A and B are shown apart, each in its own frame.
Chain A
Amino acid sequence: MAEAKPATVRQPRFRSAVTETRPARYMLMAIAFLFLGIFLVLPLVVVFIEAFQKGTGAFVDALIDPDAMAAIRLTLLVAAISVPANLVFGITAAWAIAKFEFKGKAFLITLIDLPFSVSPVISGLVYVLLFGAGSLLGPWLKAHGVEILFAVPGIVLATVFVTFPFVARELIPLMQEQGTGDEEAAISLGASGWQTFWFVTLPNIKWGLLYGVLLCNARAMGEFGAVSVVSGHIRGLTNTMPLHVEILYNEYNAVGAFAVASLLAGLALVTLVLKTLLEIRYGAEIAATRGH
């Protein structure tokens, strides 16, 4: 190089003024990749390696175990109740907040975000205090044979609590951005309120809605702390998948624990892929609320 163009050797090479030098760039990239590799990729890889450590047979055996199957069923059931519940809430809250101007709106939005700043353990604890033996409701529930704590209703309630804001906080900024013009036009052309929502608003928000549901579902199926407090850990009855992972792990059944964990990790990967596809394909229609 130097021999071919001796005249240019002394001249500083052209370099863009708005980027770093090449070595600095490579160093920053190396730091970032190393950090992500150690903290994100390795944990994910280790889950699948441990799950298949003793071969596919042991992996399958761990999953068709009756307690594991019961845990999978319970997790699906809990998600099937809590996600639609928060979906309905998310839509109604977003409709009220985005389509109308009223006093105290900012405060209401703060309240909706509240569960995000509460430790999962505390989210479970509040239901124990509400329905537990020492509470006001506890004795009454017991007398009437209603089981909430250490049973499925308690698990559902705790899951609803922790996944409460997901759909709403996705829809509120999106619908605020879209304004009220479309709905006003529909109403003035004679559409009913329901028709307006179904044929005008819903098509506008469907991708954002799906995005919110996706995140809500991932958290609902994976929640550990809140559910752990209210579940009572009864095998085959009140154990969700994450709780089952804990029990197996504490029994030194690594293959069993990681087999169930690999299903949850698979769910996380599917969630990430769908989320990324939605962002690429419908980025503008999901709005710039990529926070959580």
Chain B
Amino acid sequence: MTSVPASAGWRFKAPSVIPGFGLTLGFSLAYLTLIILIPLSGLVWRTASLGWTDFWTIAFDRRTLKALEISFGTALIAAAVNVVFGTIVAWVLVRYNFPGRRIVDAMVDLPFALPTAVAGIALTTLYAPNGWIGALLAPLGIKVAYTPLGIIIALVFIGLPFVVRTVQPIMEEIDKGVEEVAATLGATRFQTVWRVLFPGLSPAILTGFALAFARGVGEYGSVIFIAGNLPYVSEIAPLLIVIRLEEYDYAAATAIATIMLTLSFAMLLFINLVQAWSRKRYG
């Protein structure tokens, strides 16, 4: 830096010869405030004006609790499924060479790029009792579409890239020397993977899990088509917000949204703590 030796005392910004700080920071903050902060604080303000009794009544309404349970439960299961298969997919993409690897790698981002409504109707068509996959499962007595199982399928689709894209770069960085040492010292391949490689990957896997989980909890578009949306059975929390809004019950919509936001931010905090911890532990 070409900055002059800093004079004593607190300063907001380090000196720099580059112009435009005031303009760019000012514009960014104004835009952030208008688009994100004011609308979000409106939500907080509305909740605060509800008062505790009203808030608790809505929050502990049986339908609300059930919807939250379904949202968080299915998101949890879907994230767990993605941890297993996402890690395998990442491993195959990083370690094995096969024709078309780049295409497969690119395909993993499809859930990021495909609009959720399109994913929703496509998955519903596949898993409906007369669909390609649904017809195979129907004789076995497994119903996917219009059940909570359908929600999990949609959330597995949505969450997959979060796990793969979080784990993949860390796998690429693994020093093969470590594996050679483990093998030389007599570890079996399974022991090497499980006891040498896996501990180093676990923070990334956990982060991917949390990201997929957080995304799954809030997901709406891909779920509502396949879920069947039966209250108490397959009605997710975001859908209940929409239903309350359509009933002009803004208080209930606001309260459910606040509960979901609070839980999501707790997740976000958790992710950051995990990352900080893993940086300290694994450098």
Contact = CB atoms under 8 A, between A and B. Distances in A.
B24 A249 contact: no
Contacts of B241: 121-122, 125
Interface string A242-280: 110110010000100110010011011101110110001
A130 B28 contact: no
Nearest to A242: B117
Contacts of B119: 43
B88 A36 contact: no
Chain B interface extent, by class: 35 or more
B35 A257 contact: no
Contacts of A208: none
Given A20-B189, A28-B91, A224 B113 contact: no
Given A120-B221, A261-B118, A264-B118, A184 B113 contact: no
A67 B160 CA distance: 34
Interface stretch (A2-10, A57-65, A89-97, A139-147): A89-97
Contact of B110 (A40, A101, A243): A40
Interface centre among B16, B36, B260 (most CB of A within 10 A): B36
B88 A122 contact: no
B209 to A, nearest CB: 15
Interface string B16-36: 111111011101110110011
B116 A183 contact: no
B74 interface: no
A249 B124 CA distance: 11
Interface centre among A96, A100, A119, A135 (most CB of B within 10 A): A119
A242 B115 contact: yes
Contacts of A38: 133
Nearest to B240: A121
B40 A44 contact: no
Interface string B228-253: 00000000001101100100101001
A48 B28 CA distance: 41
A251 to B, nearest CB: 12
B115 A96 contact: no
Interface string B189-206: 100010000000000000
A237 B28 CA distance: 32
B126 A196 contact: no
A46 interface: yes
A261 B1 CA distance: 52
B125 A50 contact: yes
A187 interface: yes
B149 to A, nearest CB: 14
Contact of B35 (A41, A128, A160): A160
Interface in A139-195: 157, 160-161, 164, 180, 183-184, 187-188, 192-193
Contact of B43 (A20, A39, A122, A164): A122
A196 B16 CA distance: 14
Nearest to B119: A43
Nearest to B121: A249
A36 B108 contact: yes
A117 B268 contact: yes
B107 interface: yes
Interface string A21-37: 10011001101110110
Interface in A89-143: 89, 92-93, 95-96, 99-103, 108, 111-112, 114-115, 117-122, 125-130, 132-135
A41 B169 contact: no
B38 A39 contact: no
Chain A interface extent, by class: 35 or more
A264 B114 contact: yes
A12 interface: no
B24 A92 contact: yes
B76 interface: no
A222 B118 contact: yes
A290 interface: yes
A228 B89 CA distance: 33
Contact of B169 (A88, A221, A290): A290
Given A44-B122, A126-B43, A261-B117, A92 B35 contact: no
A243 B264 CA distance: 26
Interface centre among B39, B112, B126, B250 (most CB of A within 10 A): B39
Contacts of A39: 156-157, 160
- Which 7 A/B pairs are nearest by Cβ-Cβ distance? A119-B218, A222-B115, A17-B183, A224-B221, A193-B19, A225-B220, A126-B39
Given A17-B184, A39-B157, A102-B13, 14 more contacts: A92-B28, A101-B13, A118-B218, A122-B261, A129-B46, A157-B35, A164-B35, A192-B19, A242-B116, A245-B118, A249-B121, A249-B225, A264-B114, A268-B114
Interface of A: 17-21, 24-25, 28-29, 31-33, 35-36, 38-44, 46-47, 50, 88-89, 92-93, 95-96, 99-103, 108, 111-112, 114-115, 117-122, 125-130, 132-135, 157, 160-161, 164, 180, 183-184, 187-188, 192-193, 196-197, 215, 218, 221-225, 228-229, 241-243, 245-246, 249, 254, 257-258, 261, 264-265, 267-269, 271-273, 275-276, 280, 288, 290-292
13 contacts: A21-B189, A36-B108, A41-B107, A89-B28, A96-B28, A119-B238, A122-B261, A125-B245, A126-B39, A193-B18, A272-B106, A272-B107, A275-B113
